[in-house]
Chains A and B, each alone.
Chain A
Amino acid sequence: MGARRFAVGEYLGFAPALILYGAFFAVPLSIVVAYSFWKVRDYNVVHEWTIDNYRYFFSVPTYVRTMWATVWVAVLSTALTIAVAFPFAYWLVRHVPRRLQRTLLVLVILPFWTSYLLRVYSWLNILGPSGAINRFLQWTHVTSSPVSFFLYDRPAVVLVLVYLYFPFAALTLYASLERFDWDQFKAAMDLGARPATAMRKILLPQIRPGITTAVIFVFIPILGEYLAPQLVGGTRGIMIGNLIVNFFSGAEYTRGAAASLLIAALIVVLLVVFRRSLEIKDPYASGR
Chain B
Amino acid sequence: MPRDAEVVSPRAGLMRGLLGGWAVLVYVFLFAPVVLLVAFSFNANRYGTFPFTGWTTKWYGQVFGDYQIRDALTTTLKVSAEVTLISTVVGTAAAFPLVRSRLPFRSGIRIGMTLPIMIPGLLIGISLLVLFTSVFHWQLSPQTAVIGQSVYTTPFVMLLVAARLQGFDPALERAASDLGANTFRRLRHVVLPLIMPAVFAGALFAFTLSLDEFIITLFLIGAQNTLPIYIYTQVKFGITPEVNALASLLLGASILLIGIAFVLPTAIRRARRLRHGAAGARS
CB of A118 within 8 Å of the partner chain: yes
Measured in the bound complex, the distance between the Cα atoms of B48 and A255 in whole Å is: 40
CB of A52 within 8 Å of the partner chain: no
How many pairs of A and B residues are in contact by the CB < 8 Å rule? 229
User: Are A13 and B131 closer than 8 Å at their CB atoms?
Assistant: no
CB of A197 within 8 Å of the partner chain: no
User: Are B51 and A88 closer than 8 Å at their CB atoms?
Assistant: no
Main SS of chain A's interface residues?
helix
From 43 to 78 in chain B, residues with beta carbon under 8 angstroms from any chain A beta carbon are: 47-51
In the complex, what's the smallest C-beta–C-beta distance from B173 to chain A, in angstroms? 11
Contact partner of A108 (CB less than 8 A), chosen from B30, B112, B122, is B30
Q: Which residues of chain B are within 8 angstroms of A231 by Cβ–Cβ distance?
A: 235
Contact partner of A88 (CB less than 8 A), chosen from B23, B109, B119, is B23
Range for the number of chain A residues in contact with chain B = 35 or more
In the complex, what's the smallest C-beta–C-beta distance from B151 to chain A, in angstroms? 5
Q: Which of B94-102, B192-200, B275-283 lies at the interface with chain A?
A: B94-102
CB of A128 within 8 Å of the partner chain: yes
User: Are A20 and B255 closer than 8 Å at their CB atoms?
Assistant: no
- Indicate with 1 or 0, residue by residue over B236-258, a CB within 8 angstroms of chain A CB atoms: 00010001100100110011001
In the complex, what's the smallest C-beta–C-beta distance from A239 to chain B, in angstroms? 10
From 120 to 174 in chain A, residues with beta carbon under 8 angstroms from any chain B beta carbon are: 121-126, 128, 130-132, 135, 163, 166
CB of B79 within 8 Å of the partner chain: no
Range for the number of chain B residues in contact with chain A = 35 or more
- Indicate with 1 or 0, residue by residue over B111-140, a CB within 8 angstroms of chain A CB atoms: 011011011111110111111001100000
User: Are A163 and B33 closer than 8 Å at their CB atoms?
Assistant: yes
User: Are B29 and A20 closer than 8 Å at their CB atoms?
Assistant: no
In the complex, what's the smallest C-beta–C-beta distance from B250 to chain A, in angstroms? 6
User: Are A116 and B34 closer than 8 Å at their CB atoms?
Assistant: no
Q: Which residues of chain A are within 8 angstroms of B91 by Cβ–Cβ distance?
A: 17
Give chain B's interface residues, CB within 8 Å of chain A: 2-3, 5, 16, 19-20, 22-23, 26-27, 29-34, 36-37, 40, 47-51, 86, 89-91, 93-98, 100-103, 109, 112-113, 115-116, 118-124, 126-131, 134-135, 147-148, 150-151, 154, 158, 183, 205, 208-209, 211-215, 219, 228, 231-232, 235, 239, 243-244, 247, 250-251, 254-255, 258-259, 262
